[in-house]
A and B are shown apart, each in its own frame.
Chain A
Amino acid sequence: MTRRTLLPLALWLAALAAAAALAAGARYTADLSAFLPRAPSPAQQLLVDQLREGAVGRVMLLAIEGADAAARAALSRRLAQSLRADARFAYVANGAAGSAERERTLLFAHRYLLSPAVTPQRYTEAGLREAIGETLERVASSAGALAQALLARDPTGEMAALVEAQLAEGPRPALAGGVWASRDGVRALLLARTAAAGADTDAQEAAVGAVRAAFATAAAELGAPEARVRLTGAGVFAAESRALIQREALRVSVLGALLIAALLLAAYRSLAALAFGLLPVLTGALVGVAAVAAGFGVVHGITLGFGATLIGEAVDYAIYLFVQTGATHAEAGRREAWLAQFWPTIRLGVLTSIFGFAALLLSAFPGLAQLGMYSVCGLVAAALFTRYVLPSLLPAGFRVRDLSALGARLGRARAAAGRWRWLVPALALAAAATLLAKRDTLWAQDLSALNTVSAQDQAYDGMLRADLGASDARYLLVAAGSDEEEALQVAERAALALRPLVAEGVLAGFDSPARYLPSAATQRARAESLPDPRLLRARLERALRGMPLRAARLDGFVADVAQVRAGARLRRADLEGTALGVALDSLLLRRAGGWQALLPLRAPASGPAAFAIDAARVRAALAGSGALFLDLKAEADALYAGYLREAIALSAAGVAAVLLLLIIALRSAGRVWRVAAPLAAAVLLTAALLTAAGQALNLLHLVGFLLVVAIGSNYTLFFDRGGGAPAANVLASLALANATTVIGFGVLASSSVPLLRAIGSTVALGTLLALLFAALLSAPRADAR
């Protein structure tokens, strides 16, 4: 080896070592942050917080099916028992009686601080008379057992009011065998909250595993092998989606790699060539990951998953080198000849790819920005390696099978197809017309376009939520404050503003952390509403005249009131370990720079406003309260739509940059047209075919189009370079390169994961069309012969 070849080799090895070190030291994450903006607005930040940390992602719904009702109830009890002992779960509920005893005790002990009914007016003589009269009526009624049992200590009925307010807070789940069940009674239901955040996919996966293991144990112990457990919830779906994507990515990678290897082996008839051919891709992938790690500090799973497919183009570089040199029989200097002859063309192809992908670097969508970084750096590395290192690595006698016979056949076929060249503009025009006609519905506007969760699973989740009365937490009020107290006070003001909307039916109801922990100011105001014991007794004496109740019987009541007046207060710590504490923890959060109280709103289940909340009405009602209304789904969709708009604009900028590059490099409008026109036609027809097949285009299709341009530009440049008649071995190398691309992405297109399917079908179809169109358009005119 000469000094001239030794230096690049040493540089390559050093670069590989550095990249490996960077990649090994990088932090890898599979959480949702890949989809979240780098510089979020306050509303987006809330969305991000909710998705990452919020109660939404932590809630897990469990359904036990199969076996009989008694067995399901027993399984529900056993499962709840073992999950409650598991530190991975903060809270588990299955509706079993007696499980709410602590909560009742807590509500009763603090009823005067918790009840919104406690006002100075209520404890005047007239107020007491009315309240006690009402309680006696309640005692007389059929549902008066609780009021009757508590009469001596709670004659004004604060506890009954609290319990009723809770009952009114939503449809309560049905019960079968003493535990929650679906309305149709075919499944027992449980609700769990994980200790870990919903975005912590590893922890969610572990929690799902813990449920399945605990259930399997319980089913074995109770002898109910036919019973099954099903889980839903945002965290569960995230874990399942990731597992599915990983499984699918592995399946398609292995399958694709095997098929491509088989094809290359059949073409090259050389194992060494196959191995050398993979080196550019491997180099590019390693450098790509290292670049992302260095540039972003953290590498997203989506980058790893897609990056390798984006630089699949690098496989082509080796194909061009091997096949195009294969026909050169003069051993000495044939690679130098190839470099002099073909390298400028490949270099321009690499540059067009880089210009196309560089636009992605500017995206606010971290997932796209990382993909941009990965592909730009990966392609540069792969191209440099192919140009400066690979030729010197090849052994002296290295040679692949001569494919020029195949190339010659392809050349004849192409010449014969020349009279069909009018098809290209015809198809492009038809495609453009189709796209124009469907321009309003061309792009998928909401985030569900990227959703891996199947429609059936989503419907099942919706059914369980309806049965459990669990909100889907789509609508939320956010009350922010510099401390807990201020956040709770804003929440209380907002609740006051919302009450008329509930009465009108705009809202079905809402929850608030202040229900479980009123602000200190409200607690103080309620305590000060209560008269001192002497005054209370005197008022009771007069208020109870003519009633069957004597004031002397109410010592317990007077004592309880005195205790609240004396300064007994409800604190956050008092609620710990109860369902009320869990509810409070999910609704009152510490955030950078302060506290947030969250008030989930429930949409009416029927009537004109069913399942949708009139955002304008809510915002109007909230004006001045300091609380912010948030429709999480609309916010997420807006975020996605923003990404999509931005990605379309960036892609357009990328295309403009590619055109500019071609103009500068080729210095001929005619040549630029010959290079760009087949690509434009291929992208148009691919988009039209996907749309005609009923697909709404999404971000991944867009990335696919960029890839079509990146890979296809190599084809068109070769046809341009050949002056319309490329050499046979060049044609063969193009056909082989395209076949590997179509196989690799065709396998992706067969995946059940929408993300993979979108990019796979776009690139497989688009690159095939790009090659065909480039061949047709550059074919000699029939009349010119």
Chain B
Amino acid sequence: MAPRASRIVLACFLAWAMAAAAAEPWTLERLMRSLAQTRSARASFVEKKLVRILERPLVASGELSFVAPDHLEKRTLRPRPELLRLQGDHLTVERAGRSTSLDLRSYPEVGLFLESIRGTLAGDRQALERVYRLSLEGNEASWVLTLVPTEPQMRALVEHIRIAGRSADVSVIEILQANGDSTLMSVQRLAGP
């Protein structure tokens, strides 16, 4: 008798909790909290670069992997293999058999983009707000997070970054450069660690 009763109580509690959660508005706070649940993730990506003087977008594809709190890898497989590894403030680029270590801050063109992805995947609001002004639209099922660089010298490069997703999954990352060129990255989460 006693176990059954407790099970009913537990079920009621869960239903209540879920209702409460649904009722709670979809805020930056909640988005970040749910993103922060992910300790590690792997995803495939397809990246389209729209360059104004080019008639067609340039397409690249590969895999992203993230391990909390600050390890991000972007492995491009097509058209030319390339690996970007971001660990803390250190960025390593492997390309054409050569590995180069760079400081994130000295290459804002590359760094801004990677840091926004990493910060978002980690649900690290503080890290994001150090560099961007954040705004969130939509609901849990479909949200868009907009990041606008706060520093003028970064805004000279990047107009904004938009990240779209569904609950704790990121689906699209768009970066609009100040010169009008843009990059659109579609992300598909992969199973496994």
Q: CB within 8 Å of B: which residues of A?
A: 95, 97, 136-137, 139-146, 148-149, 151-152, 167-168, 171-172, 174-176, 178, 548-550, 553
**A175 and B91 alpha carbons, distance in the complex (Å):** 11
Q: CB within 8 Å of A: which residues of B?
A: 47, 49, 51, 53-60, 74, 76, 79-80, 82, 84, 90, 93, 95, 98, 100-103, 105-107, 109-110, 179, 181
Q: Which 5 A-B pairs have the closest CB atoms?
A: A145-B109, A175-B103, A140-B58, A548-B56, A548-B54
Task: Kindly identify which residue among B80, B105, B106, B109 contacts A146, using a CB–CB cutoff of 8 Å.
Answer: B109
Task: Kindly identify which residue among B54, B60, B109 contacts A141, using a CB–CB cutoff of 8 Å.
Answer: B60
- A sample of 22 inter-chain contacts (CB < 8 A) reads A136-B54, A136-B58, A137-B79, A140-B58, A140-B59, A140-B60, A140-B80, A141-B76, A141-B80, A141-B82, A141-B95, A142-B76, A142-B84, A142-B110, A143-B95, A143-B110, A148-B181, A151-B54, A152-B53, A175-B106, A178-B105, A548-B54
Asked if A148 and B51 make an inter-chain contact with CB atoms under 8 angstroms apart, the answer reads yes
- In the complex, how many angstroms separate the beta carbon of A736 from the nearest chain B beta carbon? 69
Asked if B53 and A553 make an inter-chain contact with CB atoms under 8 angstroms apart, the answer reads yes
Chain A residues whose CB sits within 8 angstroms of the CB of B57 once the complex forms: 548
Asked if A143 and B93 make an inter-chain contact with CB atoms under 8 angstroms apart, the answer reads yes
List 9 extra interface pairs beyond A97-B105, A140-B58, A167-B100, CB under 8 A: A140-B80, A142-B110, A143-B82, A146-B109, A151-B54, A172-B102, A174-B90, A174-B103, A550-B55
Pick the most buried of A95, A142, A175: most chain B CB atoms within 10 A of its CB. Answer: A142
- In the complex, how many angstroms separate the beta carbon of A545 from the nearest chain B beta carbon? 12
Chain A residues whose CB sits within 8 angstroms of the CB of B59 once the complex forms: 140
Closest A-chain residue to B57, C-beta based?
A548
Chain A residues whose CB sits within 8 angstroms of the CB of B107 once the complex forms: 145
> Which label, helix, strand, loop or mixed, suits the secondary structure of the B interface?
strand
**A152 and B181 alpha carbons, distance in the complex (Å):** 13
Chain B residues whose CB sits within 8 angstroms of the CB of A549 once the complex forms: 53-55
**A95 and B90 alpha carbons, distance in the complex (Å):** 16
**A550 and B49 alpha carbons, distance in the complex (Å):** 17
- In the complex, how many angstroms separate the beta carbon of A137 from the nearest chain B beta carbon? 5
Task: Kindly identify which residue among A143, A145, A172, A176 contacts B101, using a CB–CB cutoff of 8 Å.
Answer: A172
**A136 and B47 alpha carbons, distance in the complex (Å):** 14
- In the complex, how many angstroms separate the beta carbon of A173 from the nearest chain B beta carbon? 9
Q: Contacts A151-B51, A549-B55 given: A142-B93 contact, CB under 8 Å?
A: yes
- In the complex, how many angstroms separate the beta carbon of B66 from the nearest chain A beta carbon? 15
**A304 and B110 alpha carbons, distance in the complex (Å):** 61
Closest B-chain residue to A151, C-beta based?
B53
Asked if A175 and B55 make an inter-chain contact with CB atoms under 8 angstroms apart, the answer reads no
Asked if B110 and A145 make an inter-chain contact with CB atoms under 8 angstroms apart, the answer reads yes
Chain B residues whose CB sits within 8 angstroms of the CB of A175 once the complex forms: 103, 105-106
Pick the most buried of A95, A148, A553: most chain B CB atoms within 10 A of its CB. Answer: A148
Chain A residues whose CB sits within 8 angstroms of the CB of B80 once the complex forms: 137, 140-141
Chain A residues whose CB sits within 8 angstroms of the CB of B102 once the complex forms: 172
Chain A residues whose CB sits within 8 angstroms of the CB of B79 once the complex forms: 137, 140
Closest B-chain residue to A152, C-beta based?
B53
Task: Kindly identify which residue among B82, B98, B100 contacts A142, using a CB–CB cutoff of 8 Å.
Answer: B82
Closest A-chain residue to B80, C-beta based?
A137
- In the complex, how many angstroms separate the beta carbon of A176 from the nearest chain B beta carbon? 8
- In the complex, how many angstroms separate the beta carbon of B155 from the nearest chain A beta carbon? 15
**A347 and B107 alpha carbons, distance in the complex (Å):** 80
Closest A-chain residue to B101, C-beta based?
A172
**A387 and B101 alpha carbons, distance in the complex (Å):** 77
Asked if A148 and B110 make an inter-chain contact with CB atoms under 8 angstroms apart, the answer reads no
Task: Kindly identify which residue among A168, A171, A178 contacts B106, using a CB–CB cutoff of 8 Å.
Answer: A178
Chain B residues whose CB sits within 8 angstroms of the CB of A168 once the complex forms: 98
Closest B-chain residue to A133, C-beta based?
B79
- In the complex, how many angstroms separate the beta carbon of B108 from the nearest chain A beta carbon? 9
Task: Kindly identify which residue among A143, A174, A176, A548 contacts B58, using a CB–CB cutoff of 8 Å.
Answer: A548
Chain B residues whose CB sits within 8 angstroms of the CB of A145 once the complex forms: 107, 109-110
**A496 and B170 alpha carbons, distance in the complex (Å):** 51
Chain B residues whose CB sits within 8 angstroms of the CB of A550 once the complex forms: 53, 55
Chain B residues whose CB sits within 8 angstroms of the CB of A548 once the complex forms: 54-58
Asked if A148 and B49 make an inter-chain contact with CB atoms under 8 angstroms apart, the answer reads yes
Chain B residues whose CB sits within 8 angstroms of the CB of A95 once the complex forms: 106
Chain A residues whose CB sits within 8 angstroms of the CB of B76 once the complex forms: 141-142
- In the complex, how many angstroms separate the beta carbon of A219 from the nearest chain B beta carbon? 24
- In the complex, how many angstroms separate the beta carbon of B69 from the nearest chain A beta carbon? 19
Asked if B106 and A97 make an inter-chain contact with CB atoms under 8 angstroms apart, the answer reads yes
Chain B residues whose CB sits within 8 angstroms of the CB of A139 once the complex forms: 49, 51, 58
**A139 and B58 alpha carbons, distance in the complex (Å):** 8
**A176 and B60 alpha carbons, distance in the complex (Å):** 32
Asked if A140 and B49 make an inter-chain contact with CB atoms under 8 angstroms apart, the answer reads yes
- In the complex, how many angstroms separate the beta carbon of A70 from the nearest chain B beta carbon? 13
Closest A-chain residue to B113, C-beta based?
A142
- In the complex, how many angstroms separate the beta carbon of B65 from the nearest chain A beta carbon? 14
Chain A residues whose CB sits within 8 angstroms of the CB of B60 once the complex forms: 140-141
**A178 and B59 alpha carbons, distance in the complex (Å):** 33
Chain A residues whose CB sits within 8 angstroms of the CB of B58 once the complex forms: 136, 139-140, 548
Chain A residues whose CB sits within 8 angstroms of the CB of B56 once the complex forms: 548
- In the complex, how many angstroms separate the beta carbon of B47 from the nearest chain A beta carbon? 8
Asked if A142 and B105 make an inter-chain contact with CB atoms under 8 angstroms apart, the answer reads no
**A97 and B102 alpha carbons, distance in the complex (Å):** 13
Chain A residues whose CB sits within 8 angstroms of the CB of B84 once the complex forms: 142-143
- In the complex, how many angstroms separate the beta carbon of B138 from the nearest chain A beta carbon? 28
- In the complex, how many angstroms separate the beta carbon of A376 from the nearest chain B beta carbon? 61
Chain A residues whose CB sits within 8 angstroms of the CB of B181 once the complex forms: 148
- In the complex, how many angstroms separate the beta carbon of A107 from the nearest chain B beta carbon? 17
Closest B-chain residue to A142, C-beta based?
B84
Chain A residues whose CB sits within 8 angstroms of the CB of B105 once the complex forms: 97, 175, 178
**A171 and B47 alpha carbons, distance in the complex (Å):** 30
Pick the most buried of A140, A145, A152, A175: most chain B CB atoms within 10 A of its CB. Answer: A140
- In the complex, how many angstroms separate the beta carbon of B106 from the nearest chain A beta carbon? 6
Chain A residues whose CB sits within 8 angstroms of the CB of B110 once the complex forms: 142-143, 145
Chain B residues whose CB sits within 8 angstroms of the CB of A141 once the complex forms: 60, 76, 80, 82, 95
- In the complex, how many angstroms separate the beta carbon of A481 from the nearest chain B beta carbon? 33
Chain B residues whose CB sits within 8 angstroms of the CB of A151 once the complex forms: 51, 53-54
- In the complex, how many angstroms separate the beta carbon of B188 from the nearest chain A beta carbon? 18
**A149 and B107 alpha carbons, distance in the complex (Å):** 14
Chain A residues whose CB sits within 8 angstroms of the CB of B82 once the complex forms: 141-143
Closest A-chain residue to B54, C-beta based?
A548
**A144 and B51 alpha carbons, distance in the complex (Å):** 12
